[in-house]
Amino acid sequence: MKYYVLIVLLVFMCFGFAQKCDDVFLGELRDFHDNTPLNGATVFIKNLNKYVASDERGKFKIENLCKGELILVISHIGCETKRITFNIDGDMFQNIALEHHIEELNEVSIAATVERKETKTSQETIIKSETLKRYSNLSVGDALKEVPGVSSINTGSTIVKPMINGLHSSRVLIMNNGVRLQDQEWGIEHAPNIDVNIANQISVIKGSGALAYGGDAVGGVVVINPKRIIRLDTIYGRTLIGGQTNGRGYNITSTLNKNFSSGWFAEIQGSSKRNGDLKAPNYTLTNTGLDSKGVSARLGKLNFESGFEIYYSFLDNEIGILGASHIGSVFDLERAINSGQPFLVEDFSYEINAPKQEITHHLAKLNYYKRYKNFGRLKLQYDYQHNQRLEFDVRIGDRREIPAIDLTLQTHSILADVNLDSNLNRKINFGVIGRFQDNFANPDTGVRRLIPDYNKYDFGIYTTVEYVVNNRLIADAGLRYDFNRIDAKKFYRKSRWDERGYDEDFSDIIIDETPTQYLTNPVFDYHNISASAGINYSINESQQMLLNYSLASRPPNVAELFSDGLHHSAARFELGDIRFDQEISNRISASYIYSTSKLNLSTEIFYNNIRDFIYLRPFDFISTARGPFPLWEYQQTDAELFGIDLTINYNLTDNWQFVNKTAYLKGNDLGTDMAIIDIPPFNTTNQITYNNESWNNFSASLKSEWVFKQRDFPDFNFEVEDELNEEMILVDISSPPPSYHLLHFYSEATFILSEKTNLNISLGVNNLLNAAYRNYLNRLRFYADELGRNITLQLQLNY
């Protein structure tokens, strides 16, 4: 009996284990972007070790499949091979999409030196990492001067603010890896808080054509991007060590990247930079030391269909300001201007004392994107910034260690951006952004707040279209609306309130009072419309023309509205006006580019008309118990700027190259018919380079820099009375310094150490002839000369 049961059981078990392999798999292959069927794709069935091809409708059929896992590896010309696993449990029909755009494959290309421009019809110049490494020991503002038409407004040599076609501060937007920098940029002595070493590529866009970044870029936009991620299993990085003779400075920066083919990536980067007192040809510039430290990290996963990134960066700067520039009175200023020498010159030291700035900046970003078939890509981003700025003046007694300015600025932004690029000939982009900002001015400084506590709310919505008309002509246009609300709480001295006549229009903003002050709550709303339209026309293979018109609208910043007090270290009063309207800029530009293998020529011309242009000028005096102080008032006028920027790159032979960069700019105040203050004078640089690839890629270049004397400047000179001696003293703050010529030398070579490692050594000498000169765009030009000779040696290991 037992045997019979066993046999029956075995028979049943046989039936149970017998696999019925008759399932069918029907697949349909389509292009992800435009849903066209993929004909002739190869489908490799791993389980069966068999190949099958898709037909002209993208369909393929696999028969006699067993239940369980089915692994397919699908490939097609121009597509990335896709591996998919399915679980077969009966007949199955699947739509499978393959990514089929060659242009998009640039994201996964290795060692691609493709220049990815941000805009198509704006005047945009890209500075690449090979050039940026020369500025590793300097600042972003210095690196940007590689572009003709871009200069800087400085407070000494270590505080460098980029200036695009004569415009700076709130008129220049800076983007750090997709985050708009919010770091009290309204201040003329506030350099951008960004470590130049995090940048792999910087795009400088003149004008406001890049509407996605903002509608208020009256001057332009600087877009700083880190290295693009490649989807390969690889680990790479670089370490750079440098030293400079001027200021006995040293700097080190290191980056390490790990990428995975699955799309995961991680990057960590750090920099440290230090120099002591810098030196002009004839004396030490006492108290110009700098101590800067930064760290940044990125982590995320990037796939074609979706991805995310977490980014964090931290920067800590301690910047000494020339000791001789601290003045207590306008008489000190006059003495400084007339003596021609700084009154305070001490031996070299690394110590940084007052006057100085201490700034920390945290930036964190989280973004996510997803691509949808037949639609496009959606990106979501949240970013947060925390900026704390302490400015120390030379102070007496107990207040010696207390800063005179203590501002904490926090900004939250959230944005959503959609790119509709399923049709490559007509790309549409639209997005919304919301931002909240909080500024806290600490009263513990014991100094009346230069700018008040405020909350700022921004909302923006934009759309841009890029239309490929034919293979020669691309047109683009954009429109943007921004709403800004500023809600401040500010103390006004009753005497100032009456003097400004605010009682007539603003008595309703007073919320409290003390015996001598009113506490007010101004809340201002601004509605801004900005737009841009342009064409990019290829005349023929070697000639190209760009035309662009853009409209930008910039609301007044907090300094322009609320400045109200003595700027101690500058010995001047600064006064804003809450009646200001926003600036409206209409800018037209044209560029002509001629490009052959021997010669590259680029001419950029623009005209910018700015209605309600805001600027600061000395206007009157305040007679205080400490003497007379000039009163600088913000003014609103109509202005126009016009300029031409030229670049010529000529390859004399295979080894010799000549480069010329020239910029000419004119700025007029249409209201007063005077020139605008701080317009960069005409400048031209000529550079000759020898390079020889067979000598370890050696190159040496000599650059001649000519900066002419600015002859168009407003006369803001004033006279002040020395009451004791009954003398009128002329204070000449307007006359620009004479023209100057500098010679610079640079050479480098790259030694290949192994397949993936190379060592780049560079030697540079700035101001080779140790010429003594002053720069009109340096606010400290009254007190001391610019830097003398500086020899820099840098070693960069790439691995």
Partner 1 sequence: MKITYLNLNSMKSTKFFMSAIICLALTNTFTSCSDDDDPDPVLEEEFITNLTLTFTNTADATDAVVLFSTAPDGFEDGTSTENILGTFTAGATYSLSLEILNEQEDPADDVLNDDIIPEADEHFFAYAVNGINLTMTRDASDVAGPDGSKLGVNTTWVAGAISNGNLQIRLIHEPTTVDDSDEFGSATGGSEDFNITWTGVVIL
Residue numbers at the binding site for partner 1 (CB under 8 A): 24, 89-95, 328-329, 370, 372-373, 375, 378, 380, 394, 396-399, 410, 412, 414, 416, 432-436, 438, 440-441, 443, 445-449, 452-453, 455, 457, 459, 485, 489, 491, 493, 495, 511-512, 514-517, 519, 565-566, 573, 622-627, 629, 723-726
Angle at 495 between CA 490 and CA 500, to 5 degrees: 75
The CA distance from 155 to 321, in Å, is 8
Least CB distance to partner 1 at residue 181 (A):
19
CB neighbours of residue 638 within 10 Å: 16
Least CB distance to partner 1 at residue 30 (A):
12
Structure tokens at 593: 């580019």
**Residue nearer to partner 1 on the CB measure, 103 or 398:** 398
Least CB distance to partner 1 at residue 555 (A):
16
Angle at 363 between CA 357 and CA 364, to 5 degrees: 165
Least CB distance to partner 1 at residue 614 (A):
23
The CA distance from 565 to 573, in Å, is 5
Least CB distance to partner 1 at residue 90 (A):
4
**Residue nearer to partner 1 on the CB measure, 401 or 654:** 401
**Residue nearer to partner 1 on the CB measure, 344 or 545:** 344
Instruction: Please name every residue paired with 73 in a beta bridge, in sequence order, or none if there are none.
Output: 44, 83
Question: Do residues 322 and 247 touch, judged by C-beta distance below 8 A?
Answer: no
**Residue nearer to partner 1 on the CB measure, 233 or 620:** 620
| Unique residue bearing structure tokens 């101590």 | 291
**Residue nearer to partner 1 on the CB measure, 100 or 133:** 100
**Residue nearer to partner 1 on the CB measure, 83 or 741:** 83
Least CB distance to partner 1 at residue 329 (A):
7
The CA distance from 73 to 64, in Å, is 18
Least CB distance to partner 1 at residue 494 (A):
9
**Residue nearer to partner 1 on the CB measure, 166 or 323:** 323
Structure tokens at 227: 């290295």
The CA distance from 711 to 681, in Å, is 8
Residue 412: its H or E element: strand 405-420
Least CB distance to partner 1 at residue 492 (A):
11
**Residue nearer to partner 1 on the CB measure, 45 or 519:** 519
480 sits in the region (left: phi over 0; alpha: psi -120 to 50; else beta) called beta
Least CB distance to partner 1 at residue 371 (A):
10
**Residue nearer to partner 1 on the CB measure, 236 or 368:** 368
**Residue type for 240, please?**
L
The CA distance from 581 to 634, in Å, is 12
Q: Exposure pattern of 252-262 as b/e (b: 16+ CB <10 Å)?
A: bbbbebebeee
The CA distance from 501 to 507, in Å, is 10
The CA distance from 189 to 397, in Å, is 26
**Residue nearer to partner 1 on the CB measure, 410 or 595:** 410
Peptide bond into 355 cis (omega under 30): yes
Least CB distance to partner 1 at residue 94 (A):
6
Least CB distance to partner 1 at residue 783 (A):
17
Structure tokens at 285: 């510039």
**Residue nearer to partner 1 on the CB measure, 398 or 673:** 398
Least CB distance to partner 1 at residue 331 (A):
9
**Computed from CA positions of residues 138, 140, 143, 146, in that sequence, does the dihedral angle turn out positive or negative?**
negative
**Residue type for 73, please?**
V
The CA distance from 66 to 446, in Å, is 82
CA-to-CA separations, 296 to 136, 199, 211, 253, 647, in angstroms, rounded: 15, 11, 27, 11, 34
Instruction: Please name every residue paired with 656 in a beta bridge, in sequence order, or none if there are none.
Output: 690
The CA distance from 328 to 163, in Å, is 29
Pairs from 83-87 (Cβ < 8 Å, separation ≥ 24)? 86/25
Least CB distance to partner 1 at residue 367 (A):
13
**Residue nearer to partner 1 on the CB measure, 153 or 559:** 559
Q: Name which of 313, 422, 326, 322 is nearest 377 in CA terms.
A: 422
**Residue nearer to partner 1 on the CB measure, 494 or 789:** 494
**Residue nearer to partner 1 on the CB measure, 500 or 587:** 500
Least CB distance to partner 1 at residue 622 (A):
6
Question: CA 707: distance to chain centroid?
Answer: 26
Q: Give me the helices (H) in 123-179, please.
A: 129-132, 140-143
Q: Exposure pattern of 309-342 as b/e (b: 16+ CB <10 Å)?
A: bebebbbbbbbbbbbbbbbeebbbbbebbeeeeb
Least CB distance to partner 1 at residue 433 (A):
8
Least CB distance to partner 1 at residue 171 (A):
25
Least CB distance to partner 1 at residue 725 (A):
6
CA-to-CA separations, 202 to 196, 241, 297, 600, in angstroms, rounded: 10, 22, 19, 20
Angle at 248 between CA 405 and CA 785, to 5 degrees: 65
**Computed from CA positions of residues 164, 168, 172, 177, in that sequence, does the dihedral angle turn out positive or negative?**
positive
**Residue type for 149, please?**
G
**Residue nearer to partner 1 on the CB measure, 16 or 515:** 515
CA-to-CA separations, 519 to 284, 510, 525, 564, in angstroms, rounded: 46, 6, 20, 14
**Residue nearer to partner 1 on the CB measure, 287 or 445:** 445
**Residue nearer to partner 1 on the CB measure, 89 or 654:** 89
The CA distance from 441 to 565, in Å, is 14
